[in-house]
Structure 1
Amino acid sequence: MLRTTNKRLTTIFNQYRSIKVQRWASTETKNVAYEEALKLIQADKAERLEMLSRVEKELARVKDTSSPTQSAQLAALNTLKYDLQVKAELNDPEVRANFENNQNIDMSRPVYRYLTQRQFEKQPRAKLLERITQMNVAPDVVDIDVNPTVEIKLQLDDSSIIEPGVFTTPEQSISRPHIQVTNFHTERRLYTMMLVDPDSPDVANKTYQQHCHWLITNVPLSATQPTVQDGNTILDYIPPHPQKGTKAHRYTLIAYEQGNQGQDTLDSVTVNQRDGFDAKTFAKEHGLTVRGVTFFRQKWNESVSKIYSDILGIKEPIYGKPPKPERIIQRTMYI
């Protein structure tokens, strides 16, 4: 019955949208189609809410009844409950308008979590995976088979949200970035946030190494609390400072879910040094799972010298080979 109703709703909406874009259609015709669509929406919603009421009563009964299959029953009923909550409001014109206009989006409501998650999985996630693969963030910092399930929204200074892999300037990231982790779980889970540079020079070995710029654990996040603002600081934030004479640096921000589906706390975590850091090893040792990742790139400019002198308080290093002398072909003179 519900599947049939869904097909009817889709048909009515397609007809209404078709009428809406046709210039010759009269206002009266459009209003009739719209009213018919609303009637179907309301009838469908009432039917789903009635079923939802029965599901909630069954959930209460199963919770109070101990049985070997209780966990499986609860999981199935909760899945059905979420499905009914979403579909009861999915075709609501006000809900759709709010989501399309990015206003009054209440992530405590299942329908908005569903729409946001579907939007993330449709485009931003694909673009993110493409860029971290093309620019070797995977496997240099995270595993090649990484599966992002949350979206990290990163803002440097007063800029707009930074897309993965874009170039920024060192002066933009002097202050700690503003971070939101768009997730889809209603319960509070604990995360570890890390900012690491895999392109820091390793002079002794004539190669590159990871340098950890920032590390905090036990960050509480949920669908209604996505802002990174609490937690235990393991390494204070140090602004990116791409060294003079080095290639472009990939500053990578990772959101790890802590163990036991984010319920385990990380206590007594110590990191002795920032250089020679290994994000994968750290995650494995502490039972962390990558849930989100993003990155931005930077090259050296004059502001880096100021970061070294005013913030780091050390002499700025300079890397790179001296320029080769130009070979000038002299014309042979015959007398």
Structure 2
Amino acid sequence: MLQAKSGVRIATRNVASFSKRFQSTSSGIWTDFSKRSASLKLNSPEVKQGLLHKINPEEGPASISDYNRRLAYHSPEDIDETFKQAYELLQQEAEVKYKEIEGYKKRLGEAKSTKEVEFLKKSIDKLLVDAEVKNPEVLYNVEYTDVELLDKSQPVYRHLLKEKWEAYDLMITMQRLEQLHMIPDTLPTLDPKVDVKVKFPHNVKEEFADWVVPGTVLPAFAVSQPPTIQIQEFETVEEKNLYSIVLVNPDTPDLKTNSYSTTLQYGLANVPLDNVDNVIDTSKLFSQGEKFTFKDYQPLVPEKNAQTQRACLWVFRQSEELTLGDIARENFDIRDFASKNNLTAVGAHIWRQRFDRSVNYVRNKYGLGEGRVFRRVRGTAPVV
């Protein structure tokens, strides 16, 4: 029993001694921004105080906005001392990684072959992720900061965003692409490499102006103007990649064949994007739209009593700059288009539309004339 109490006293003295050393040390790789990007730090002093140091019990953590919940918060027993020890150990590991990075950068300056250069650059990116992936400030930023405000040039942010994407958004997207038969009705398959987001910011209501969940049914007025498209690459893009974006409707009624045809609703090519400059929005279309728009945007306008139509948006990565001639909207063959131009599908999105009261307004706006009204006819032969 005496030995047990003695051991507790020794452990307590060790924790107290380590705590003092931690508090007295103001330097460390995670506090040095002379060689690290300032975007890796937490910008709120109040939140940073509560995250990295002891929380004032009379004020509570600044990260909690609700005042009553903030005052009701109580830190777990001995969490401050435990956190300080863990923080110091993790920071020491990060310092080792940064020393390795310096060595790789020196080798990179002396590298001669393209293969060696690519290997060294990938190794540096991996080490940059390993050095920061356990940094509390970085983790807090990814979890609680608006994604659009994060510095996507930092490999660690892209790595953590990719993990979040794979854990939820990617699964939702692939489920909807297959559930709604966008795959294989338009293209046979997809190996997703990028996160594709779509929104229509011209809308006043938030439910139509925010990022669209794949598969959502939208009214015609909500899609009456070109969408904002975000294409997030997770691998490092040193220079601009070129992309083609194609929006097709595979559900255009074709009475001659008693089936459906595919209509090209929107076509973009040679769009230059990278990790940070990754959005195609109204301002970019106004300033550069003529350079990469090969088919002007025309929203889907489903006709009365016709089935729900799918707006299928495909994102392709180009191997080279394309020179495209006049491409017809009707009977568009997306598979042939991708094959002829050596395009690689890297991402996709989908929303749906059905006839509603705003369809006629949109038809008039785009000069599409009056729509057709279909009759429901029972028959034994299936529509193929």
In the alignment, which residue of structure 2 is the partner of 1:67?
A: none
Q: Separation in 1 of the partners of 2:378 and 2:255? A: 19
Q: Separation in 2 of the partners of 1:25 and 1:134? A: 45
After superposition, give the CA deviation of every residue in 1:181-237 in whole Å (9 maximum; x if it has no partner): 111232310101111100011121111011111101111111101111344111101
**Structure 1 runs, 4 residues or longer, greater than 6 Å off:** none
In the alignment, which residue of structure 2 is the partner of 1:287?
A: 342
Please report how far the alpha carbon of residue 31 of structure 1 lies from its aligned counterpart in structure 2 after TM superposition.
Answer: 1.4
Please report how far the alpha carbon of residue 313 of structure 1 lies from its aligned counterpart in structure 2 after TM superposition.
Answer: 3.9
Q: Separation in 1 of the partners of 2:362 and 2:87? A: 60
**Does 1:267 pair with 2:316?**
no
After superposition, give the CA deviation of every residue in 1:239-271 in whole Å (9 maximum; x if it has no partner): 110111210001011111111xxxx11124320
**Does 1:74 pair with 2:117?**
yes
- 1:88/1:24 Cα in 2 relative to 1: closer, same or farther (>3 Å)? closer
Please, which of 217, 223, 244 is the counterpart of residue 167 of structure 1?
A: 217
In the alignment, which residue of structure 2 is the partner of 1:15?
A: none
SS class of match (2:347): strand
Q: Separation in 2 of the partners of 1:112 and 1:225? A: 15
For residues 92-241 of structure 1, the aligned pairs below 5 Å read 92-103=135-146, 104-144=149-189, 146-156=190-200, 157-158=202-203, 159-184=209-234, 185-186=236-237, 187-228=239-280, 229=284, 230=288, 231-241=291-301
Please, which of 79, 84, 105 is the counterpart of residue 30 of structure 1?
A: 79
**Which letter maps to 1:256?**
F
TM-score, length-scaled by structure 2: 0.72
SS class of match (2:111): helix
Greater CA drift, 163-172 or 302-311: 302-311
**Does 1:62 pair with 2:107?**
no
Q: Separation in 2 of the partners of 1:107 and 1:25? A: 34
Q: Separation in 2 of the partners of 1:80 and 1:309? A: 56
Q: Separation in 2 of the partners of 1:132 and 1:24? A: 45
Q: Separation in 1 of the partners of 2:74 and 2:141? A: 26
Alpha carbon RMSD of aligned pairs, Å?
2.4
Please report how far the alpha carbon of residue 175 of structure 1 lies from its aligned counterpart in structure 2 after TM superposition.
Answer: 1.1
In the alignment, which residue of structure 1 is the partner of 2:55?
A: none
SS class of match (1:297): strand
CA contact (8 A) 1:309 1:316 kept: no
Gaps of 5+ in 1: 1-21, 64-69, 325-335
SS class of match (2:184): helix
Please report how far the alpha carbon of residue 322 of structure 1 lies from its aligned counterpart in structure 2 after TM superposition.
Answer: 5.7
In the alignment, which residue of structure 2 is the partner of 1:321?
A: 376
Please report how far the alpha carbon of residue 288 of structure 1 lies from its aligned counterpart in structure 2 after TM superposition.
Answer: 0.8
CA contact (8 A) 1:194 1:216 kept: yes
**Does 1:305 pair with 2:360?**
yes
SS class of match (1:84): helix
CA contact (8 A) 2:294 2:324 kept: no
After superposition, give the CA deviation of every residue in 1:43-93 in whole Å (9 maximum; x if it has no partner): 111111111000111111113xxxxxx333333222211111111111111
How many positions carry a matched residue from both structures?
293
Please report how far the alpha carbon of residue 24 of structure 1 lies from its aligned counterpart in structure 2 after TM superposition.
Answer: 8.1
Greater CA drift, 87-96 or 72-81: 72-81
Greater CA drift, 171-180 or 302-311: 302-311
SS class of match (1:312): coil
Q: Separation in 2 of the partners of 1:163 and 1:24? A: 37
**Which letter maps to 2:331?**
G
Gaps of 5+ in 2: 1-72, 204-208, 380-384
**Does 1:256 pair with 2:316?**
yes
